[in-house]
A and B are shown apart, each in its own frame.
Chain A
Amino acid sequence: MGTSVQMTPLCGVYSENPLCYLLSIDGFNFLMDCGWNDLFDPNLLQPLSRVSSKVDAVLLSHPDILHLGALPYAMKHLGLTAPVYATEPVYRLGLLTMYDHYLSRRECSDFDLFSLDDIDAVFQNVTRLTYSQNYHLTDKGEGIVIAPHVAGHLLGGTVWKITKDGEDVIYAVDFNHRKERHLNGTVLESFVRPAVLITDAFNALNNQLYKRQRDQEFIDAILKALNADGNVLLPVDTAGRALELILILEHYWSQQHLSFPIYFLTNVATSTIDYVKSFLEWMSDSIAKSFEHTRDNAFLLRHVNLIINRDEFEKTAEIPKVVLASMDSLEVGFSHDIFVEWATDARNLVLFTQKGQFGTLARMLQVDPPPKAVKVTLSKRVPLVGDELIAYEEEQNRIKKEAALKASLSREEELKASHGSDTNAPDPMEVDASTSYVSSGSGLRSAGHLDVFIDGFTPSTSVFPMFPFFETTAEWDDYGEVINPDDYIIKEEDRDQASMQILHGDLDIKIEEGSARLLLDLTPSKVASTELTVQVKCGLTYMDFEGRSDGRSVKSIIAHVAPLKLVLVHGSAEATEHLKQHCAKHVCPHVYAPQIEETIDVTSDLCAYKVQLSERLMIDCMCTDIGDYEIAWVDGEVGKTDDMLTLLPLPSAPLPHKSVLIGDLKLADFKQFLASQGVQVEFAAGALRCGEHITLRKISDASQKGGSGPQQILIEGPLTEEYYKIRKYLYSQFYLL
């Protein structure tokens, strides 16, 4: 009778792997998240590849790699074509996150799993929703309503509520019930008794410090390093938790008038903050309020400088500074390079605010005790020189000629054909003969990059290519200028002095060549790698700024939501097992923690049918108001009108029914109530002793909410007036039907 619900994990169960689950509701297949890890390991996507063509809709919950990283690859290579639903910030910040990852990867490898165009293509496919918007699916999904709700954790983070025929399936991973500086807490607790709750066990074993204490320790640790003349590196994600850290730093810096510079260094830092500024309606009430009252946008940063490439960062003054750099895994990106540079100095501090993904450098450094030395691969994109360059240019010319030939052919064809439907305009490369911007088969595509840096990361909504127009963009001047190579020669010497052992490769490679500049210049280039062992002398600290509810809160939230069936995903095996045990005992008997590709059926065994309430029946109904509810006892006879069951009043007087007491007695509250009525009352041995002789106790296990049935209360005492008085008070706590 109930809605059929099946769920199949594709990735991310009994482990901290990225999240990706197939949820099928009455045959409509939702892909809940489509995550990948920072290492972009295609093996993880094997299970997805087997079902991707069956997916009818993709719902994204957070704008980070673990929740949406695999989308471009899946759309390009795995045949995923379904429409994607996400909130506006998840869409926008997710896009920026993907750009940042791509650019960081490109920087140090011939990364070819997907391209910037693939990313753009995917994100054009996204339908953007607002919180608590009830979106009615059509066609195959007729009757299904999806609604995103506030999840906390990341900006735009979503708890998905999928409703069919009045039954709710809730997908809530990585939620945070605590209100933070920039985010409100999740509204998950406002959902009561959904048919199915899918949640994660990620933090089931972790407990957090109090926020204020944690913030203080965070600032203390940073200031300690800075005051000792060291630098602080905070490896962060592109556009997620970084925002909260930025606000914390901003707050303390202005409160304590600190002058140490702070840098936010990602490939997309400026765009990120620009967009974040326009997402105030998605943030916490206090941010919205301060804007309404003073028009003070919290993300108008006064202390944090935004930097989007390495060169600019190199130019910053050589004074102690705080750097928030992507990626948080330290695998690639600015954080990786800076770590290599700073790790050897004991004064420096690397402060992790998130648990590193499994198998990444960040995770390696987070073990206790930290390793003395780590092996890293330092890869840089370097321009081609000598023979390589000549060979490359020859290849270029050949391709260009071919392209020109093709273009002229196609132009002729176009002339012949009518000018009507010209949506597939000629390739951007051949708009002009200008050679310096022409890209090649090497994989670097000009249109993509230039879009990124000039148009501020808007995915082009149309397919008309526009030739890049450099003069008008101020940003171009900021980072497109030629850099004085002398700066780097000094740096090189510094590095030599630092005890860094180069194992392979030659010292001649200038690894700090501004790679973003290379990406823009599109000078023919290749990737050169060196492997080296870095002595880790700097301070390493981990503080939990992940913005997830901790174990204790997760348990109490699940208990409060009290789903009829519970599915646990995403969390280490121990954490999953622990939470499963706990919930089976205290929340509901149906707790599932499926393995990868194991399909579980969580169809509710709920029976239901609809009846129409006749007017005559309702007139006789005596409703009692109980909180939000109105309750009455009905006795009706089933009749039928127009194929609908109708409930009519009984022809004769109904038989008396067993009376029902409604109410939830809390002994502690009752004690207070009695005390306020002037009754002497105290707790003794688990029972409430009222007056002289009367005792009141709950018989059943009160902690087991939901599963056990009605509460059993026992009141006993000798036959006295007091007894009847206490009983009267006790009755006043209930509604009798």
Chain B
Amino acid sequence: MASAMTAPGSVLKRKDSMASAPVREGDQLIVTPLGAGNEVGRSCVYMSYRGKTVLFDCGIHPAYSGMAALPYFDEIDPSTIDVLLVTHFHLDHAASLPYFLEKTTFKGRVFMTHATKAIYKLLLSDYVKVSKVSVEDMLYDEQDILRSMDKIEVIDFHQTLEVNGIRFWCYTAGHVLGAAMFMVDIAGVRILYTGDYSREEDRHLRAAEIPQFSPDICIIESTYGVQLHQPRVIREKRFTDVIHSTISQGGRVLIPAFALGRAQELLLILDEYWSNHPELHNIPIYYASPLAKRCMAVYQTYINAMNERIRNQFANSNPFDFKYISPLKSIENFDDIGPSVVMASPSGLQSGLSRQLFDKWCSDKKNACVIPGYVVEGTLAKTIINEPKEVTLMNGLTAPLNMQVYYISFSAHADFAQTSAFLNELMPPNIILVHGEANEMGRLKQKLITQFSDQNTKILSPKNCQSVEMYFTSEKMAKTIGRLADKTPQVGETVSGLLVKKGFTYQIMAPDDLHVFSQLSTANITQRISIPYSGAFSVIKHRLKQIYESVEPPIEDPDVPTLIVHDRVTIRQESENYLTMRWSSDPIGDMVSDSVVAVILNISREGPKVTAVAEVEKTQEETAKMAHKVVYSLLVSLFGDVKVVEEGKLIVTVDGNVARLDEKNGEVECDNDSLKERVKTAFHRIQSAVRPIPLSAA
């Protein structure tokens, strides 16, 4: 196995890469991030091996809009992709899917988990409504989303599916409801794509599973690089403390959070905290997302994708039926009097309700803004983490930033401890880092290289569109079954049979067993044609004997005159007027039959001219004489001066050089080597032309 990284900017288009790597093309495995390479956002990783192509995720970059937000789809030919696997519903993993399905030549199959699919639709419809871009910049509309829904197929955790020989299944990833890690198996080479994952169990989600098989390649997220999370309990305490103290000082708390996923976890925390603190009951918590309300049914239904804790709670009452949290439709319905806690989307404060509230509250130092998760580069949320003095409001004016800004991460991504433990457990020989900001990723890479220094582990962090090429010499194993396998052969014996390949499994079997072990069946075609012929049967026999070595009557006595030619074609004289010819279809049989037909037709046509009956009984001697004559005349035409010395001996004289040829064994005596060779070759050719074809092929 070897791996190499092509120079940045090298062209990736399939046909080109084929041309550049003619050797071992089949064994080459290519992984190319089309997005999320050294960045966070627009996750999309292309993978191809043995002519099978898989695309993982299909997201957009939240910091850009329009076409600029898409992954680099123009680097690939969408029509060649067999399977597209979407890990979870977040926009940076799923939001370019409608575009990819509806606006490109993609014609493969798409899979995601049940919960992901249910939320995907709600989330993207919302995204289309909320994103305020011009019509030209719209990547797709509501209709495209609905149409894409029909093309998306669902997969359950651990369920193994196979498409075109690509086998894949998924594991719980922990990140959000329905989040999955995909394991793909192509011809025995396994690739694990983690998507976003978390190894920590929280209030409602399970921790990511450790796959029971170690993959050959692990494509892993590196969002948090080498950072370490505080324990969950401490983070929760900080979170509730910040909110509690802000409120008790009469401030307002803004939590810009993504509508779905982590928000549900925060709401569970808040609801529980409120129910434990009666003094807070008069402080309203608003959840400004109609989307979340609509998604509640999904959260209630896919309870089986969550952890035991929440399932046990579900038995009593629905834990997502919040007591102290009320929905907020829009800023117009918001009665901003006194302290309150508002959770609003989007998480990056780009636009929408969270931004409106931010603009309203940012200059008051009593207020607080709690950023509860990872924020993408280029968004306002990222900017305010560094606590600048001033911020630009949506209307273009600047305002002082007086409100408190806290960054308490609840985003369920793995931290360094989890990543390192996860990889330690799996021990993949190749690790490809994606979904991480370049510096963060670089640090992680260094640290992992140190960690795995004593193993032969390759750690790569390709940029967008930069291909990673690896070679897997796969050993093709075939199973010989059925009659062919009655006994295991010894070294040196030959095995002949049908090699049947389905997907990536090979079987060798006898043709007769084909229908037993596959859905295919074999056939024998027997042909029987009747030929008008009224001449004597013996004439046919004579003529055929001139052509074929084996023209025999059948072993048992037939009722009518019968001949078997070349062991294949049976000719019967059914009546005075016609013959029938019967044989079993195969190329040689067809050829023989054609020549027999030609002979018979010729006899019929030349009818009266058949006078050479006397010649029929040619003796061996005569044949030899004839052959001798032919050889002589041909040699004369080639070399000119040829003399017959004695029986079977010829002397060829060319430019004074003399060669003696023995006609019986083809040996040549000559002083001149070149003449010797020429005569020898010529004689061999003549011989093979004159002598009849041996019957060995039968």
Contact = CB atoms under 8 A, between A and B. Distances in A.
B515 A279 contact: no
A618 B118 contact: no
A129 B527 CA distance: 55
A398 interface: no
A532 B488 CA distance: 73
Interface in A447-489: 455-458, 461, 473
B486 A638 contact: no
B521 interface: yes
A610 B479 contact: yes
Given A277-B301, A638-B491, A709-B512, A630 B501 contact: yes
A403 to B, nearest CB: 29
Interface stretch (B39-47, B101-109, B151-159, B659-667): B151-159
A638 B511 contact: no
Given A277-B301, A647-B495, A659-B587, A618 B158 contact: no
B476 A634 contact: no
A190 to B, nearest CB: 11
Nearest to B525: A713
Interface string A526-546: 000000000000000000000
B205 to A, nearest CB: 16
Contact of B154 (A129, A166, A288): A288
A662 B528 contact: no
Interface stretch (A218-226, A676-684, A717-725): A717-725
Interface in A617-672: 618, 621, 623, 626-640, 645, 647, 650, 654, 656-665
A730 B526 CA distance: 12
B586 A662 contact: no
Nearest to A635: B496
Nearest to B164: A628
Interface in B191-220: 212
Contacts of B512: 709-710
Interface in A1-21: 1
B154 A716 contact: no
Nearest to B294: A295
B303 interface: yes
A731 B487 CA distance: 35
B500 interface: yes
A613 B476 contact: yes
A711 interface: yes
A591 to B, nearest CB: 16
Contact of B697 (A280, A632, A639, A656): A656
B298 interface: yes
Contact of A458 (B149, B315, B521): B315
A278 B496 contact: no
Interface in B85-126: 114, 117-118, 121-122
B525 A608 contact: no
B506 interface: yes
B521 A713 contact: no
A631 B524 contact: no
Nearest to B153: A285
B528 A606 contact: no
Given A147-B160, A611-B477, A629-B500, A638 B482 contact: no
Interface residues of A, number: 91
Nearest to A632: B499
A650 B531 contact: no
A133 B524 contact: no
A611 B529 contact: no
Nearest to B121: A292
Interface in B311-340: 311-312, 314-316
Interface string B476-494: 1111111001111111111
Nearest to A300: B297
Given A456-B316, A664-B520, A639 B491 contact: yes
B481 A638 contact: no
A3 to B, nearest CB: 13
B400 interface: no
Given A292-B121, A737-B498, A661 B482 contact: no
B154 A631 contact: no
A662 B522 contact: yes
Contact of A281 (B114, B511, B522): B114
Contacts of B298: 295
Given A461-B312, A711-B524, A629 B493 contact: no
Contacts, number: 263
Nearest to A656: B697
Nearest to A698: B523
B118 A715 contact: no
Contacts of A716: 527-530
Nearest to A454: B316
A609 interface: yes
Contact of A621 (B300, B499, B520, B521): B499
Contacts of B511: 658, 660, 710, 737
A458 B212 contact: no
Contacts of A612: 475-478
B498 A613 contact: no
A734 interface: yes
Interface SS, B side: mixed
A431 interface: no
B517 interface: yes
A136 B160 CA distance: 13
A192 B161 CA distance: 16
A609 B500 contact: no
A699 B527 CA distance: 12
Contacts of A623: 499, 501
Nearest to A708: B515
A475 to B, nearest CB: 10
Contacts of A503: none
Contacts of B523: 661-665, 710-713, 734
Interface in B442-482: 475-482
A291 interface: yes
A623 B476 CA distance: 15
A216 interface: no
Contacts of A228: none
A293 interface: yes
A660 B114 contact: no
B304 interface: yes
Contact of B160 (A134, A657, A713): A134
B118 A292 contact: yes
Given A132-B159, A607-B482, A737-B498, A661 B522 contact: yes
B516 interface: yes
A131 interface: yes
A77 interface: no
A88 B118 CA distance: 20
Given A278-B301, A638-B494, A662 B530 contact: no
A723 B590 CA distance: 13
B497 interface: yes
Contacts of A295: 118, 122, 294, 297-298
Nearest to A700: B524
Contacts of A608: 479-482, 485
Contacts of B277: none
A507 interface: no
Q: Which of the listed residues B157, B302, B303, B519 has the most CB atoms from chain A within 10 Å of its own CB?
A: B519
Nearest to B315: A456
Nearest to B312: A458
B146 to A, nearest CB: 8
B595 to A, nearest CB: 14
Nearest to B522: A710
Given A193-B518, A612-B475, 7 more contacts: A473-B316, A613-B499, A633-B498, A638-B490, A640-B491, A709-B512, A727-B527
Interface of A: 1, 88, 129-134, 136, 147, 166, 192-193, 277-281, 288, 291-293, 295, 297, 455-458, 461, 473, 564, 606-613, 618, 621, 623, 626-640, 645, 647, 650, 654, 656-665, 699, 706, 709-719, 723, 727, 730-731, 734, 736-737
7 tightest CB-CB pairs across the interface, nearest first? Answer: A456-B315, A133-B158, A716-B528, A607-B485, A659-B586, A613-B476, A630-B501
